[in-house]
Amino acid sequence: MTEEYNYDLVVVGGGPAGSSAAFAAAKNGIKVALIEKENSIAETVRTSGVTWIKSIKEFEIPENCYHPIKNFSFASPNNEVTISDSIATAAVLDVRKTYRWLSEEAKKLGVDIFVKTNINDVIKDEEQNIIGVKGTRAEEKITFNSKVVIDATGFTSTISKTMGYVTQWERFGAGAEYEAEVENADPDTWWLMVGQEYTPAGYAWIFPLGNNIVRIGVGVGKPESNIDPTQRLKEIIEKKLGPIKKLGKITPIEFHYGLIPNDGLSRKTVYNNLILVGDTAGQANPLVLEGIRYAIKFGRVAGEVAAKAIKNKKTDETALYPYEENWRNAIESKINSAGKVQDRWIKLSDEEWDKELDIIKELKTEEFLDFIKADFGLSNMLKLAMSHPKLAVRQLFNLVKSK
C-alpha cells in the first residue's frame, strides 16, 4: 500500500536550510511538507554550530539556543594569538535545540513535518521535470506530489543526484568532534589550532558551550589529505597538544561527525520545479567551513521565491532564478576570495603558520571578524591594506583583489 500526499511545496531535509525554506514558504501562504529521514529533527548532530551574533539577531534565534564568544585565539606549533572584543560577536549554537526551534517555527505556520521518512526517488513528468518525490516510511511506500521541490538534503544532495543534475563533491571537509565536560574551560574563548601536528589541510578547534562543556574537534580537507579526522582527534586529545592541555580532565559526552562541501559555489541551484539550498548548494565559508547562517538566510529566500512562483503558477527555472540571483549577489565574490585565501593556507608549513599568526595579530577585532567571516568586500580589503602597511597584509589584499 502507498500513502500519497499532495502539496504545493515539498522540502526534503530537516536541517536549518530545509526548516527555514519551509517556514518562509508557509509564511507566504502555500501548503508545505518538510521531510526528514531521521527519527526526529537533529537526532544526529553533524556540525560544531559556530556562527555570528549578527546573524543570530537577524534570525531571532532565542538566547537559550547559543553560547556567546568574545575572544578568538589561534595556535600554531610555536605561536599563539588572541583577538578580543568587549562584547560577544560570535557564538556556538546548541545545534539540536536551534534546529528544533527552526522546525517548530515552521510547524506553527502550518508546515506538515514528516520524520522517519526516507526519500530515495523522484517523480517526473513527461518532460522529465521533477513533480514530486517518493520513498518509505515505517517500511511502507510514500509519495509526495508537488509543484516545487527544495533539495535541502545537505552533503548527500539526494534529490539533485537522483535527477542527474549533480555528482558527488570533489573537495570537502570531514570533521570529527567530541562534546565533552572538562575541568578548565574558558567560556568566552574559542581556539582554532593550525599546523601539521594538529591536522594537515584543515584545523582543530575548542569551542565552549558554557558550564565547563566544550566541543573539541578536528577538520581535514579532502582529497588534500588522507588523514582520518576521528583518529587524529583521539591522538591530539591523548597528547594534550597546545591549548588542549589547559582543559585538564576531559570526559566525552557525545561524538559528532560530519561532511561539508568545499568545492566553492560551483553548482547551478535552480532547475524547472527544483531549488538547491544550504550544503546541497555548496553555500559554505571555506575559511572555517561554517554555513549555518547561509543555510537559514538563503533557505528563507528559497521558500519565498518558491511560494511566489507557485502562486503565479509558473515554476520553471526562469521563475525560480531570483533565488540564485539573490545568493550570488550576496556571497559569490566573497566566497571566491575566501577560497583563494584557503588555497594559500592549505600549502603553509608549520613555520609559515607561525608567521601567519603574526599577520592575524596585526588586525583589529572588526577587521579580523570581516576576514574570518569571509566578508571580503573590496572596500573592506582596501581599508585593511591602508591601515596595515606591513608587507604581508598588503600581499593578502592583493591576493583577494586579484580574485
What is the rounded CA–CA span in Å between residue 255 and residue 401? 40
Residue 2 β-bridge partners: 141
Say yes or no: 323 and 281 in one domain: yes
Domain holding 18, by residue range, is 2-44+96-169+264-330
Using a 10 angstrom Cβ sphere, with 0-12 exposed, 13-18 middle and 19 or more buried, the burial of residue 391 is exposed
Say yes or no: 78 and 197 in one domain: yes
Could you give the C-alpha distances from 260 to 101, 221, 274, 282, 283, in angstroms and in order?
Answer: 22, 10, 21, 8, 10
What total of structural domains would you count in the chain?
3
Q: What CATH number should be reported for the domain holding residue 206?
A: 3.30.9.10
Q: What CATH number should be reported for the domain holding residue 31?
A: 3.50.50.60
Say yes or no: 230 and 293 in one domain: no
* Residue 375: predicted pLDDT: 79
Say yes or no: 72 and 113 in one domain: no
* Residue 94: predicted pLDDT: 97
* Residue 397: predicted pLDDT: 53
Say yes or no: 201 and 228 in one domain: yes
Q: Does the pLDDT of residue 386 top 80, yes or no? A: no
- Between residues 217 and 348, which one has the greater pLDDT? 217
Q: What is the mean pLDDT of residues 149-165?
A: 98
pLDDT digits (tens, 9 = 90+) for 251-290: 999 999 999 999 999 999 999 999 999 999 999 998 888 9
Say yes or no: 232 and 314 in one domain: no
Q: What is the mean pLDDT of residues 375-397?
A: 59
Domain end, chosen from 239, 261, 283, is at: 261
What is the pTM (predicted TM-score) of this model?
0.94
* Residue 391: predicted pLDDT: 45
Say yes or no: 38 and 71 in one domain: no
- Between residues 384 and 116, which one has the greater pLDDT? 116
Domain end, chosen from 312, 330, 348, is at: 330
Q: Does the pLDDT of residue 392 top 60, yes or no? A: no
> CB–CB of 303/25 below 8 Å?
yes
pLDDT digits (tens, 9 = 90+) for 296-324: 999 999 999 999 999 999 999 999 999 99
* Residue 403: predicted pLDDT: 46
Q: Which residues of 327-359 are buried (b: 16+ CB within 10 A; e: fewer)?
A: beeebebbbbbbbbbbeebeebeeeebbebbeb
* Residue 171: predicted pLDDT: 94
Mean pLDDT rounded to a whole number for the chain? 92
Q: What is the mean pLDDT of residues 196-225?
A: 95
* Lowest mean per-residue pLDDT among 184-193, 324-333, 351-360: 351-360
* Alpha helices, H only, 240-275: none
Q: Which residues of 269-279 are buried (b: 16+ CB within 10 A; e: fewer)?
A: bbbbbbbbbbb
* Residue 373: predicted pLDDT: 85
Q: What is the mean pLDDT of residues 346-364?
A: 86
Using a 10 angstrom Cβ sphere, with 0-12 exposed, 13-18 middle and 19 or more buried, the burial of residue 150 is buried
Say yes or no: 188 and 129 in one domain: no
Q: Does the pLDDT of residue 42 top 90, yes or no? A: yes
Say yes or no: 233 and 285 in one domain: no
pLDDT band with cut points at 50, 70 and 90 for residue 365: confident
Using a 10 angstrom Cβ sphere, with 0-12 exposed, 13-18 middle and 19 or more buried, the burial of residue 133 is buried
DSSP assignment string, 128-163: S-EEEEEEEETTEEEEEEEEEEEE--GGG-HHHHHT
Q: Which three cell numbers stand for residue 327?
A: 545568493
Q: Does the pLDDT of residue 384 top 90, yes or no? A: no
Tell me the percentage of the chain whose pLDDT exceeds 70: 93
Highest mean pLDDT out of 103-112, 284-293, 361-370: 103-112
Domain end, chosen from 330, 347, 364, is at: 330
Say yes or no: 251 and 277 in one domain: no
pLDDT band with cut points at 50, 70 and 90 for residue 347: confident
Q: Does the pLDDT of residue 381 top 70, yes or no? A: no
Could you give the C-alpha distances from 130 to 59, 159, 195, 270, 296, in angstroms and in order?
Answer: 31, 9, 46, 12, 24
Say yes or no: 182 and 254 in one domain: yes
pLDDT digits (tens, 9 = 90+) for 64-76: 999 999 999 999 9
* Lowest mean per-residue pLDDT among 33-42, 88-97, 246-255, 357-366: 357-366
Tell me the percentage of the chain whose pLDDT exceeds 90: 80
Q: Does the pLDDT of residue 227 top 60, yes or no? A: yes
How many C-beta atoms lie closer than 10 Å to residue 62's C-beta? 11
Taken as a whole, the chain contains a residue count of 403
Say yes or no: 57 and 198 in one domain: yes
* Residue 388: predicted pLDDT: 61
